[in-house]
Amino acid sequence: MDLGWTRRIAMLSTSVWLIAAAAFTARAGFICYQQARIPPSVLASVPFDQEAGNIALSLAQGDGYGNLFRKPTGPTAWLAPGYPLFLSLIFRLFGALTLTSFFAAVLANAAFSAAATFPLFAVGKRLAGEGVARAAAWAWAVFPAGVLIPFEWIWDTSLSVLLAAALVWSTLRLGETSKMRAWAGYGALWGFALLVNPALAAGLPFLGAWAFLRRRAAGEASWRLPALATALVVLTCLPWTVRNYARFHRLVPLRSSLPFELWIGNNDLFDEHAVAGHRRITRYEETRRYAQLGETAFLDEKSRLARRFVREKPGLFLRLTARRLTATWFGTEHPLRDFLETPLLLPRFILVVNLLVTAGFLCGAALAFRGRVSLAWPVAALPLVYPLVFYLTHTSLRYRHPVDPLLLLWTVYTFAAAARALRKASGHAFTP
């Protein structure tokens, strides 16, 4: 083969645009494969039969931001507005609960997920060079959860993946500038991200503080910069907060459902010594109770039950928290037992992948901190703090998914460091 063509092919294979296209192709291919196995009538309705889809349907039908369980229960603040508003736009354009709307939603999810390749590549390049960035981007392109989740969940998860990577990338850039416009844009980006996924707020003080201290170390910092960014975060979210106060007469900055999420993961179903005959939690019963009490009273009740459980059974709460921490990082509360007992290859493969990603993240971050890599903190901070709320409530691999690209980056970083160490050791071994 001509050397020029060889060089062009090599350059093409390293293009972030090609990697992003491959990521989208993998996700779109899985969508095509799966949809062929499911009746169209099911695809048009069932994937939207959840809170985000129900709110979007209510909006598309002109009934406002409400009707959480597809019943006339009135306004809600259960979810932040970003993704339900996006879904409602799809419904208005392509019809509510149609096959076309389903494809529009899942292909949009695939595009969000694939687009995360760009900020991931940029972060990796700044952290450890183009080789690590390229390998991390390709790893994300074929990462199993990244391929599956855009189809499996019509939710804000895939958009949150893009936003999480973009927030880290913009933080690294912000650490290099003291321009007011850049800091204002950073605050607006955070505000938009919180209106999509409020759980991302866990990373805001850590990433924002790092960028400010970076500029302060360069002798260019002013308190006006973080003040401006903070003001833009607040102003971006303020209309939604005001709306919630007007509807519910209480402060609900972003979403109201935390008491319910806390109760789901902390109740007597988890206590083997609880009173016999305790009913299982069912969607029908909780929907009926919600409709009976209304959102505010329903959540107040769940808050009281959850707080009483934690207060009366602190030991069990701590054990449940430890189990949720394990499940967040490995996909199951008992990874070794489940790996040995399951006869299926796919669950075993997923367990192994999560073990590698978790170990790769911890080792990579430790190596970077030990080596005093200047950008280690902002790249590691979000994966460390983002899952904290899920340790206290309930969890799954889907909840962790927004930080998966960063975990893959750290895993590639670990393998690259190991490869360098082996080459160095081999060179010393053969030095005369």
pLDDT at 10: 52
Phi, psi of 178 (to 5 degrees): -115, 20
pLDDT at 3: 47
The domain segmentation of the chain, as residue ranges, is 3-429
- pLDDT above 70: percentage of residues in the chain: 94
Pick the range with the lowest mean pLDDT from 10-24, 163-177, 364-378: 10-24
Over the chain, what is the mean pLDDT?
Answer: 92
Checking if the pLDDT of 279 tops 80, the result is no
Checking if the pLDDT of 289 tops 80, the result is yes
> Contacts by 211-214 with C-beta closer than 8 Å and gap 24+?
211/171, 211/174, 211/175, 211/186, 211/378, 214/175, 214/176
Cα–Cα nearest to 287, from 83, 81, 76, 85: 76
Checking if the pLDDT of 427 tops 70, the result is no
What is the Cα–Cα distance from 85 to 57, expressed in whole angstroms?
10
Q: pLDDT for 230-245, tens place per residue?
A: 999 999 999 999 999 9
Cβ-in-10-Å burial (0-12, 13-18, 19+) of 45 comes to middle
Residues 210-217: what's their mean pLDDT? 91
CB 285, CB 279: distance < 8 Å: yes
pLDDT at 432: 41
Q: Rg for the chain (alpha carbons), in Å? A: 23
* pTM score of the predicted model: 0.93
pLDDT at 278: 53
Tell me the CA distances in angstroms from 423 to 68, 167, 341, 428, 429, one per residue in order: 58, 35, 39, 9, 10
pLDDT at 421: 87
Angle, alpha carbons 172-107-146 (nearest 5°): 55
